[in-house]
Structure 1
């Protein structure tokens, strides 16, 4: 037996209710700054009510239910209500288009969609093309037209008791879709055991205690907010402060107001916070650590820690790895330009193209040792080929390149598919971006490769400048030539006001590439 055993999400919640029933579990602040609060016991009662409503309306174990919701109490209740009856949650991005949602609803074979009135229109045109979808329910609905399909109405007719259900730790609890680049998104199957393992790894890695309070500003449909924040809080019997959306100008003010002690961010939101007018009062917070993913410069790291008086820990994880296989040590030396070292429960190594472990300092693919359905994902839904390519002989192949230094710290190099082949040489996009980001006029950069008949690929850099900064393409190319081999220097530099991003701030390079190729920009 491992640390999870045969426990489920329901078992974990019920255990914490016995221990901390009257303690605050969840504080939620909506976009109008209205505040709502639930104790552990009240949260359990609400999940029981919705669970019974789901059963009453024919939702059974193993069926998929799509959540198309912003951060909200209803999202959290729906997640745990579905887990309680053994159904599978399919959380989606509220920014997804009608066509994107049609694919996910069709591919997942979802029988029920839970959304809000604001997003209902995008589903009307595609509903007739979704034979599996039987019904649409509305969260946070106060009108009369759809009253009988509202969660509040459906839950009001149910009691708070719940019959014992035959759910196992290895049953699928959720399916999270990874963002597609050249192909359609893949459905990552996450078990009850996966969630509990993620909570154990994260809570132990940051020394989370029942006195801590997580602040969640990243979207709940994403693995980060589910695995690292929600599950670690539940595992430790801590509490959660959640906002409907992220605000760079109000992040630390909300953290102070909501009593947060730990938080999770990405590099892009952190740069947005740094770009705000500095309020010295933001230093007077109770945050003892913020973990983050994706690279920041040395100056950004030191400025953030100094301004806001909070230590940072860079980590590395994917939807497929479930927990965080790499993280800077909370009790050791933090090297936050790195992704840290392997965490409890994981073995990580770097391999070359031949599958052999790469020497120290040499770049290769990150692979993570794990048990499918326990410590790493169970597999991709209806995609055996992609599952076989990712899970091999007890290892998960991440598709990310990194290197390891002599002290055992892992440094991200690039996505394997983000490598640019130029005149027979491999160029890491992140290396070019790192040079560009050091220029005083550059706020952020994104580098892509585009097809070139002579050089294999040409290097195109997109730049967002600091406000009031002025720099030309010629100046930046000269800057790069002084700092990089000529084959790494961009052919073109284009200036943008903003980048297309995912909901957690990742730059969508495939959209930059599509836009570039569509407009036939000459270099």
Structure 2
């Protein structure tokens, strides 16, 4: 459990400060105005609902429409019925919506969609056509309280989390040495801030994990070590790579399991995929893929999946084993519990 500042859901509008805050910047980033309406389908204990949607709505006087739970097959019709203009999701629920929405469905007319974690280019375009607006990727986590960065590209790109918001200081660190990385090498995202203000206070009753999550530099600045990897391009735009433990060495080459999953999810007949790193006596680790078929699709053929991987993935990233399963284990916000897949394999 994460102990953070007082939840914004309990803050009355008249008590909000009049100076510019990160809630103002979040509302501005989403071009939010009083006549707009957020569509919230993810749990309220998560930063996505509290800080990205509710807090920005409170700031500008917009409204929020909520559902009791997330339904991929009903998401489009619920959004239409509730007359929403803005939505915020993760990549995995977006892929589920695409797979379970009839192709003849009339597109929505949303004005803004946030999403977190990587979407493949084809899914990015397809969801944009379904909602009426290309989704825009952001980066943040419950521990960072508010949004850290977002893609400002026009049109939005599927592979960018962009540059930090004003007032957000970010640097990329080597996960082992904690030295700042240079060039386009991936590094762990570190976010500067003050605990209990614009960073979480602590993990409840877990001082060891809390201590490991922060680094104080020689200037006395405290940095949250997020455990997420990103790369920076020549203009400072960041691209999300995955969790530190989602990037593995295969024959000496770095392979992002998150990126492999995004490619496999585009294969014909595939609803979603999870990839784990399996020990290998020669290559250190090799990818093993677990794939869920789209509803109504023909039975998946492992030979066809292998061919797809050969055509779309580098040799080191191609799964050495394929498993067709009924569903993937998930958290309450739709993230894949990859460690449970590994446990089921052993």
TM-score, normalization by structure 2: 0.85
> Closer, same or farther in 2 for the Cα pair 1:224/1:280, shift >3 Å?
same
Which residue number corresponds to residue 13 of structure 1?
12
Which residue number corresponds to residue 152 of structure 1?
none
Please state how far the C-alpha of 1:426 moved relative to its aligned partner: 3.5
CA distance in 2, matches of 1:290, 1:503: 20
CA distance in 2, matches of 1:491, 1:210: 52
Q: Is the 8 A contact 2:215 2:224 kept in 1?
A: yes
Q: Is the 8 A contact 2:9 2:55 kept in 1?
A: no
- For the residue of structure 2 that corresponds to 1:281, the secondary structure is coil
Deviations 1:113-133 (A, max 9, x none): xxxxxxxxxxxxxxxxxxxxx
Match of 2:245 among 401, 417, 430: 417
CA distance in 1, matches of 2:215, 2:117: 26
> Closer, same or farther in 2 for the Cα pair 1:397/1:310, shift >3 Å?
same
Which residue number corresponds to residue 304 of structure 1?
127
Which residue number corresponds to residue 343 of structure 2?
514
Unaligned runs of at least 5 residues, structure 2: 217-221
Which residue number corresponds to residue 399 of structure 1?
227
Which residue number corresponds to residue 338 of structure 1?
160
Q: Is the 8 A contact 2:134 2:155 kept in 1?
A: no
Q: Is the 8 A contact 2:90 2:117 kept in 1?
A: yes
Alignment of 1:273 onto 2:273: no
Deviations 1:208-260 (A, max 9, x none): 22222212111112221112111111122222111111222332332233232
Match of 2:46 among 217, 222, 242: 222
Which residue number corresponds to residue 107 of structure 1?
none
CA distance in 2, matches of 1:390, 1:433: 27
Which residue number corresponds to residue 189 of structure 1?
none
Alignment of 1:250 onto 2:74: yes
Please state how far the C-alpha of 1:482 moved relative to its aligned partner: 4.8
CA distance in 1, matches of 2:317, 2:107: 40
Q: Is the 8 A contact 1:473 1:492 kept in 2?
A: no
Match of 1:206 among 17, 30, 33: 30
Which residue number corresponds to residue 193 of structure 2?
370
Q: How does 1:42-61 map to 2 (within 5 A)?
A: none
Which residue number corresponds to residue 159 of structure 1?
none
Which residue number corresponds to residue 219 of structure 2?
none
Unaligned runs of at least 5 residues, structure 1: 1-5, 18-168, 170-195, 518-523
TM-score, normalization by structure 1: 0.58
Match of 2:318 among 484, 489, 502: 489
- For the residue of structure 2 that corresponds to 1:215, the secondary structure is strand
User: What RMSD over aligned residues (CA atoms) do the two structures have, in Å?
Assistant: 2.8
Q: Is the 8 A contact 2:9 2:50 kept in 1?
A: no
Deviations 1:416-450 (A, max 9, x none): 11223344443221233244234334332211013
- For the residue of structure 1 that corresponds to 2:285, the secondary structure is strand
- For the residue of structure 1 that corresponds to 2:124, the secondary structure is helix
Deviations 1:476-517 (A, max 9, x none): 334434554544332211111211111221111011011111
CA distance in 2, matches of 1:346, 1:434: 28
Query: Where is the helix percentage greater, Structure 1 or Structure 2?
Result: 1
- For the residue of structure 1 that corresponds to 2:339, the secondary structure is helix
